[in-house]
Amino acid sequence: MAWRYDFSNQQASVFFLDNSTPAPKRELWPAGLCFDDELITQVTGIGGGIEALARAYQHHSNQVRIVERDRIVGPVEADGLVTGLDSFALAVLTADCVPVAFSTKGAVGIAHCGWKGIVGGILAESVKAIRELVGDPSANVEAAVGPHICVECYEFEGPSKAEVKKKYGDSAFRTVLASSHLDLGALISYELSELGVSADFTNDQCTNQTDTLNSYRGDGSELRQTSFVVKGPWLGSLMVDG
C-alpha cells in the first residue's frame, strides 16, 4: 500500500510506499534515470503515466541535482533531486531517515534526510534548488514529510550528538528512559519553517513501530521503502493499491 499526499496546487503528488512494494535490488535499479516501464511499475506500484524514474546514490550529503529529460545534471551522488518535468518520478529510499517531498508551481523535488544531511543543510539546498529552477527566489514551496523513526525510538548518543547540538542546541533532544533521543521531525519542522516552507506531517508514521515499514534501527533491515514525487495534470485520476 501507499500513503498518497496531494499538494494543494493539485499538480503534484507524493507517494510514500510501504514494504508491500519492496524496493528492487540496487543492481536492478541503479541510480540514475530509468525509462524501463516494467521496472517503473515494479518500483512505484503504479503503471501508466510515469515516463521516467530517477534516484541518486544517497550519501547523507547536502547535494541536490536537477533531473532533465535525458540526464541528471552532475554526478549521481546526491541526497536531493528536483525537476520541472511532468511525469518524471523522483525517488528516495529510506528505512528510518526521512523522505521529504517538495512542490511549487512548475517544479517538484525530494530529499533523503538523516541527521547528518539535515545538519549539513540538505533541506535548505533542496528548497534553494527548486526555487532556482522556477526562477523565483521567493516561490511558495510546500513540503510533505514521510515515514521515519520517531523520537521515542531514536536513541542518539555519542560524538554525533555534539554535532547536532552545536547547530540546534538541546531542544533537538528528548530524554527517554534516561537516555538521549533525537527528534528528526522537529529538526525538519524547524528548518522548513525558517525557509518559509509549509510542511504536512500527516504521513509521518514511525518506521520502527509500523509493521508494514522497514526499519534499519528496529530490526537491522537491509530493506528500504521507496518514496517518490511526481507532477502532472493526469495525477487526479491515479489510484494506488491499498
Smallest distance from Zn ion to CB 61, Å: 26
CB of 68 to Zn ion, least distance (A): 38
Q: Is 153 in the site for Zn ion (CB under 5 A)?
A: yes
Distances (CA, A) of 114 to 97, 122, 161, 195, 235: 5, 9, 13, 18, 29
Q: Work out the number of other CB atoms within 10 angstroms of the CB of residue 204.
A: 22
**According to the binding rule CB under 5 A, does residue 206 interact with Zn ion?**
yes
The verdict on 20 binding Zn ion (CB under 5 A) reads no
Contact flag: residue 219 with Zn ion (CB under 5 A): no
Is 150 a binding residue for Zn ion by CB under 5 A? The answer is yes
208 binds Zn ion (CB under 5 A): yes
Q: Considering the complex, what minimum distance in angstroms separates the CB of residue 205 from Zn ion?
A: 9
Total residues in contact with Zn ion, by rule CB under 5 A: 6
Rounded to 10 degrees, the C-alpha dihedral 7/66/196/171 comes to 100
CA dist., res. 152 & res. 50, Å (int):
37
Asked if 123 contacts 192 with a C-beta cutoff of 8 angstroms, the reply is yes
**Is residue 209 near Zn ion by the rule CB under 5 A?**
yes
Degrees (nearest 5) of the Cα angle 78, 161, 211?
65
CB of 240 to Zn ion, least distance (A): 24
Residues that bind Zn ion in the complex, under the rule CB under 5 A: 150, 152-153, 206, 208-209
